[in-house]
């Protein structure tokens, strides 16, 4: 269990390396991003396997199934937010010479780092579906490490890599949506005449 937890926290090192190269060396090494993402996914799956989901499903099906489904929905939303709600090639490609446009719509109108909130959602639902030390420690460590990572991105990386990020930071909350950001994110229902 300790190795799986260490792997999940260590996953942020290559991710930070990827961001550092993009911001300060004006080049990207996509393999670092892929490595960090794979390490985090592997650590999560390893911990779920160690937590014995079959026993949890048999012992507490009233918790396992609803929270398991919610964990999958949150994980799917997290993947969407990180890989499909952003222009993939511009965000994760090798070239980093120009500032990329700042995405301010959809999930990114809600808050600057919707993935941080979704990460907490994934691990909270996993801990409820498969209660045990593995999922509880993952809930405490992984989203917190992710929050520290996005705080570094927000403060030091994105101001150098995303066009208009300083203004976006003033207009949009960090990770928890507000009433105003929720209204901006939802499509307006104007009556056509």
Residue ranges and CATH numbers for the domains of the chain are: 2-185 (1.20.120)
Whether 192 shows a pLDDT value over 60: the answer reads: no
Bigger pLDDT: 1 or 76? 76
Question: Which three-class secondary structure state does DSSP give residue 172?
Answer: coil
What is this structure's pTM? Answer: 0.88
Q: How confident is the model at residue 152 (pLDDT cuts 50, 70, 90)?
A: very high
Q: Which long-range contacts (CB under 8 A, 24 or more apart) does 98-102 make?
A: 99/161, 99/162, 99/163, 100/161, 100/162, 100/163, 101/162, 101/163, 101/164, 102/158, 102/162, 102/163, 102/164, 102/165, 102/168
Question: What's the mean pLDDT in 133-145?
Answer: 94
């Amino acid at each position: 269990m300790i190795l799986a937890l260490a792997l999940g926290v260590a996953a942020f090192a290559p991710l930070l390396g990827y961001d550092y190269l993009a911001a300060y060396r004006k080049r990207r090494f996509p393999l670092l991003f892929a490595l960090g993402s794979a390490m985090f996914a592997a650590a999560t799956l390893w911990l779920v396997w160690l937590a014995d989901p079959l026993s949890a499903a048999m012992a507490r099906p009233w918790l396992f199934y609803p929270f398991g489904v919610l964990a999958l929905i949150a994980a799917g939303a997290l993947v969407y937010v990180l890989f499909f709600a952003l222009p993939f090639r511009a965000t994760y490609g090798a070239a980093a010479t120009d500032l990329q446009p700042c995405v301010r719509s959809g999930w990114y109108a809600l808050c600057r780092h919707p993935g941080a909130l979704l990460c907490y959602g994934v691990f909270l639902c996993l801990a409820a579906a498969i209660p045990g030390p593995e999922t509880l420690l993952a809930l405490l460590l992984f989203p917190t490490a992710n929050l520290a990572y996005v705080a570094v991105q927000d403060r030091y990386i994105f101001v150098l890599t995303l066009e208009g990020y300083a203004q976006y930071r003033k207009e949009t909350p960090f990770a928890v949506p507000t009433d105003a950001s929720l209204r901006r994110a939802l499509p307006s229902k104007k009556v056509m005449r």
